[in-house]
Structure 1
Amino acid sequence: MSELEDISHHIHDRLSALQRVLDLSAAELPQNKIKKLGQELFALERLLEEFENCVGRQKEQLKHLKELEELFQKDEKDVHHMKDNIPAHMPRKKGSANGNEPVMTQNDAAGHQLAQPENVKKTSKSYVREMEFITTPEFESIPQYMKGRVSYEQLNAAVQSINTAAAAKYKILHQSLKTLNNHARKLHQRFKDQETKDTKGQYFVVEDDIREFTQTKVDKRFQGILNMLRHCQRLRELRGGGLTRYMLL
Structure 2
Amino acid sequence: MAGTELEDVCAHINDKISHVKKILQLRNLGHDPALKNVFWKIKHEMTLLNDLLNKLELEVQYQEHVRNSLRELQESLNGNYREIQNLKKNIPPHLPKVIQSCGVEPNNNPEEQLKITSSEHSKKTPKKQKTIKEILLITSDEFDNVPAYMKSRLTYCQINDFIKEMNKAVTSKYKIINLPKKSMNSSIRNLYHRFIEDETKDTKGQYFVVEADIKEFTNLKVDKRFHVILNILRHCRRLSEVRGGGLVRYVIN
- Look up the equivalent residue of 2:222 and give its one-letter code: V
**1:172 aligned residue:** 176
Aligned: 1:191 with 2:195: yes
Deviant stretches of 4+, over 2 Å:
84-89, 122-126
- Look up the equivalent residue of 1:205 and give its one-letter code: V
Higher alpha-carbon deviation: 196-205 or 175-184: 175-184
* TM-score in terms of structure 2 length: 0.50
Provide structure 2 residue ranges, at least 5 long, that are not aligned to the other structure. Answer: 1-63, 70-125
The change in CA–CA distance for 1:151 and 1:190 in structure 2 (over 3 A counts) is same
User: What percentage of aligned pairs have identical amino acids?
Assistant: 49
The change in CA–CA distance for 1:123 and 1:187 in structure 2 (over 3 A counts) is farther
Residue in structure 2 matching 1:236, options 227, 235, 240: 240
The number of aligned residues is 135
The answer to whether the 8 Å contact 2:65/2:157 transfers is no
> Considering only aligned residues, what root-mean-square deviation do their CA atoms show, in Å?
2.5
Q: How does 1:196-211 map to 2 (within 5 A)?
A: 196-211=200-215
Q: How does 1:71-220 map to 2 (within 5 A)?
A: 124-220=128-224
The answer to whether the 8 Å contact 1:123/1:175 transfers is no
CA distance in 2, matches of 1:170, 1:213: 12
Residue in structure 1 matching 2:230, options 208, 226, 229: 226
The change in CA–CA distance for 1:227 and 1:87 in structure 2 (over 3 A counts) is farther
CA distance in 2, matches of 1:199, 1:87: 41
CA distance in 1, matches of 2:129, 2:68: 27
1:128 is paired with a residue whose SS is: coil
Provide structure 1 residue ranges, at least 5 long, that are not aligned to the other structure. Answer: 1-83, 90-121
- Look up the equivalent residue of 1:144 and give its one-letter code: A
The answer to whether the 8 Å contact 2:210/2:249 transfers is yes
Larger radius of gyration: 1
CA distance in 1, matches of 2:163, 2:225: 14
The answer to whether the 8 Å contact 2:137/2:160 transfers is yes
**Deviation of the 1:125 alpha carbon:** 2.5
- Look up the equivalent residue of 1:179 and give its one-letter code: S
Aligned: 1:245 with 2:249: yes
As a proportion of its length, which structure holds more helix?
2
CA distance in 1, matches of 2:203, 2:148: 32
The answer to whether the 8 Å contact 1:238/1:245 transfers is yes
The answer to whether the 8 Å contact 1:142/1:228 transfers is yes
**Deviation of the 1:150 alpha carbon:** 1.2
The change in CA–CA distance for 1:85 and 1:213 in structure 2 (over 3 A counts) is closer
**Deviation of the 1:145 alpha carbon:** 0.9
CA distance in 1, matches of 2:65, 2:199: 42
